[in-house]
Structure 1
Amino acid sequence: MLDVKLTMIRQEFESKKLDDVGRHLEQELEGVQLDLKPGASVAIAVGSRGISNLEEIVHSTVKWVVGQGWKPFIIPAMGSHGGATPEGQQAVLEHYGITEVNVGAPILSSLEVVELPSEGLANKVYMDKHAYEADGVIAINRIKPHTDFHGTFESGLMKMCAIGLGKHKQALEIHRFGVTGLKEMIVPTARQIIKHGRVMLGIGIVENASKETAIIKVLRAHEFEKEEPKLLEQAKRLMPRLPVDQIDVLIIDEFGKDISGVGLDPNIIGRIGIRGELDLEKLQISSILLTDLTEGSQGNALGMGLADVITRRVYNKIDFKATYENAVTSGFLQRAKLPIVAETDSEGISYALRAACRSPENARIVRIKNTLSLGALYVSDLVLPDLEYQTGIEVTDRRIPLVQEDGCLPPFD
């Protein structure tokens, strides 16, 4: 029997945020001058991540470009996302509200690329053909810790230039070198694309732990290498975290590509899922259960291989072709391997508890909505003593059953 209760707790993280994102971006762009003639074409590179206020940010960028007398268009700056098809990548943007009607610029989606000079690099360098043929390029991306590796540059504008603007062909080229490619080749590849591809501006975004826009910085291309590491440090300081390091069973209500590039953030759960790369020693989670896949993932279940158990609900939503294409492109197949499939939430919890060698009443259980939303979560009674002296944590009087009589998880909110 799973007759135990969980208590809701709230975590307070640094709450820095921008109240008027569009206005702030407009102020950042004021005074920026680019060496472009009237009527020049400007490609705005937009990625596949669920960035807060993305539609407003893109719309404000388009508005500024038009105001300069130039002609903007949007390109999906993605590697294997959207099933590595033009239609799929455009659909990803549309899911985030990036349509011509909403942002005021057409979307030109293609996987066709141009090969650029590699100038001695071990890898070839590619760039989206539409972007290459534009008179100028603006890259928009969130800056945050990467899910595969750690270094001076992780997820951000440099990676957007290298992998996003390089499309699927560049992703395949970089990923064939494994983690080494990500650690050592993204920056020099980005330099070539910036140099030969007329990348002029970048809009770097940092979010707080509540997924609110905390920082927007407009950078000229020559500033990327100096300024992006500073923004990355701020992103690390603002990112959410679990309140405890020792967990028997972690229940995650949803995962997906709009939550993290790997579906669930390895920086949160401590599991990397890359052969030869060590998991984060500080976090010790015995069993992870995934109960649903987000609609925004469009069936891409990359990251399920980091879990131990998934529900039938998840399994029925998986687009294996899209998932496997993403995994094979990255070279990290472990992340797409199928965990045990439980018919119900209740069965999934039972499997996870048994794998952790724990009974329900003697287990350290934590339930979260997803790895981005950690402001409110539920914990079992055994976890509560660890929270007593932690700052920024409120133990509420809301208690819910671990599972309902119908075998489903009770509503999170």
Structure 2
Amino acid sequence: MKFPRMVKIGQSFPSLGLADLTGELNRVLSQSNLRDSIKPGMLVGITAGSRGIANITELLRVLAGHIRSLGGRPVLLGAMGSHGGGNPVGQAELLGSLGITEHATGAEVICSAETVVIGSAFYGDIYLATSALACDAVIVINRVKPHTSFHGDIESGLLKMLAVGLGGPAGAASLHRSHPNLLSRAVAEAGMAVLKACPVVLGLAIVEDAHEATSKIVAVKPEDFFETEKNLLSESRRYLPGLPAAEIDVLIVDEIGKNFSGTGMDTNVIGRLRIQGAPEPETPSIKRIIALDVAAQAHGNAYGIGLADFTTLRLACKFDRESAYLNALTSTFIQRAMMPMTLPDDREALKAALRSLSGIAPQDVRMMRIHNTLHLSEMLVTENLHKEISDSPHIKTLGPPHEIDFGPDGNLPPF
């Protein structure tokens, strides 16, 4: 089979990262009047989630230092729902892989799956971690961005950290009993209920640009969580990176993993949800997706592999079914954990994908290769796709067309 030639391109996005992250966070904290809420000797919990938030270690370190300067005793509360296998050991390991440790942040890390019911929502019981209730004050920190499974006024952010993150495995499972179309409402309702039951004194909302750089830090009073997060979500949507073409025959994804997206591959990027009862996005339209490997930072949790059509034996051998299945059963989006057609290596996976495209000759296929769905500043595209998009001011050609080269093991080398 003759494969089409590829061209390396760069895709430019506005760079909005803060020049002095520590200085900005200190400025925000100094204006937040935390001194009125945190008194000497108070135990202050800081939420620590499982998402790969940029600069999270530095942000937590500075925040913990500020709390100590007020006389408080900061601790980090593992807040990740059912992630990390839904158990304290797995949660601590996952946080450690993100650099969130006591040594790096200066605050003890507390991971626990113990929760209590603090109320009810339209979908069922609302849960809250006992570790949060044991604190004298709680500060919620999270990135605000579009979610990969649902859309609405509230998606990923402070309220979801409260509703799902601090809800533990039981809270996550309860909330996900909602119909997919009602998940935004569920997060908002549960998050507001937890806000009233938990001693939350402040929220720190983070917005990142398309380069995964921290572009804004906003201190949010508890009574302003809903409206502020709603506005920041609209802002965040403008920075969401995407693919430079809406119609693609084959998309090759070098790595998937929860360090890139909660669904392994960002559904906003690939245009696939695979949620029963929820309509699929109209764009982008991708006929076949090949997931080649799972990132080392994901520790084998290849949840989201069911969004692909083809994969490789090396990914399948690393697949931590226990963690992925727990995510799938908790969310109820079971198709996302289903293993697609598995081929011995990259070459055979690509050949299978091309053979499956009825009526499209391999040399005419419109194909794209990306590192992952988070880092989209560089990619490979076929010559026909390059011709279509090269006139865009956001696209830069980084090299001449070249043949697809497989290593002796049949796998593609990094690009």
TM-score bin (small chain): over 0.9
Moved over 4 A (4+): none
After superposition, the Cα gap between the structure-2 partners of 1:184 and 1:31, relative to the gap in structure 1 and judged at 3 Å, is closer
Contact preservation (8 Å) 1:240, 1:374 = yes
Report the Cα offset of residue 398 of structure 1. 4.2
Q: Tell me which residue corresponds to 1:12.
A: 12
Q: Tell me which residue corresponds to 2:168.
A: 167
Q: Which runs of 5+ in 2 are unaligned?
A: none
Contact preservation (8 Å) 2:407, 2:413 = no
Q: Tell me which residue corresponds to 1:379.
A: 381
Contact preservation (8 Å) 2:144, 2:233 = yes
Query: Within 5 A, what are the aligned runs for 1:331-346?
Result: 331-346=332-347
DSSP-derived class of the 2:255 partner: coil
Query: Within 5 A, what are the aligned runs for 1:277-292?
Result: 277-292=278-293
Contact preservation (8 Å) 2:57, 2:99 = yes
Query: Within 5 A, what are the aligned runs for 1:108-257?
Result: 108-118=110-120, 121-257=122-258
State the TM-score, normalized to the length of structure 2.
0.96
Amino acid at match of 1:48: S
How far does the alpha carbon of each residue in 1:350-375 deviate from its partner, in whole angstroms, 9 at most, with x for none?
Answer: 11111223333110010000001111
Query: Within 5 A, what are the aligned runs for 1:381-400?
Result: 381-400=383-402
Q: Tell me which residue corresponds to 2:22.
A: 22
How far does the alpha carbon of each residue in 1:107-130 deviate from its partner, in whole angstroms, 9 at most, with x for none?
Answer: 111000122133x64421111111
Report the Cα offset of residue 399 of structure 1. 3.9
Q: Tell me which residue corresponds to 1:80.
A: 82
DSSP-derived class of the 2:383 partner: coil
After superposition, the Cα gap between the structure-2 partners of 1:311 and 1:30, relative to the gap in structure 1 and judged at 3 Å, is same
How far does the alpha carbon of each residue in 1:112-150 deviate from its partner, in whole angstroms, 9 at most, with x for none?
Answer: 0122133x6442111111111101111111111001111
DSSP-derived class of the 1:300 partner: coil
DSSP-derived class of the 2:74 partner: strand
| Distance (whole Å) between structure 2 residues aligned to residue 203 and residue 224 of structure 1 | 10
Report the Cα offset of residue 306 of structure 1. 0.5
State the TM-score, normalized to the length of structure 1.
0.97
Query: Within 5 A, what are the aligned runs for 1:350-361?
Result: 350-357=351-358, 358-361=360-363
Amino acid at match of 1:390: S
| Distance (whole Å) between structure 1 residues aligned to residue 181 and residue 134 of structure 2 | 30
Contact preservation (8 Å) 1:401, 1:410 = no
Report the Cα offset of residue 184 of structure 1. 2.0
DSSP-derived class of the 2:290 partner: strand
After superposition, the Cα gap between the structure-2 partners of 1:386 and 1:176, relative to the gap in structure 1 and judged at 3 Å, is same
Report the Cα offset of residue 196 of structure 1. 1.1
Q: Which runs of 5+ in 1 are unaligned?
A: none
| Distance (whole Å) between structure 2 residues aligned to residue 58 and residue 398 of structure 1 | 44
How far does the alpha carbon of each residue in 1:172-223 deviate from its partner, in whole angstroms, 9 at most, with x for none?
Answer: 1111224145232111111111111111111111111111111111211111
Contact preservation (8 Å) 1:346, 1:403 = no
After superposition, the Cα gap between the structure-2 partners of 1:86 and 1:181, relative to the gap in structure 1 and judged at 3 Å, is farther
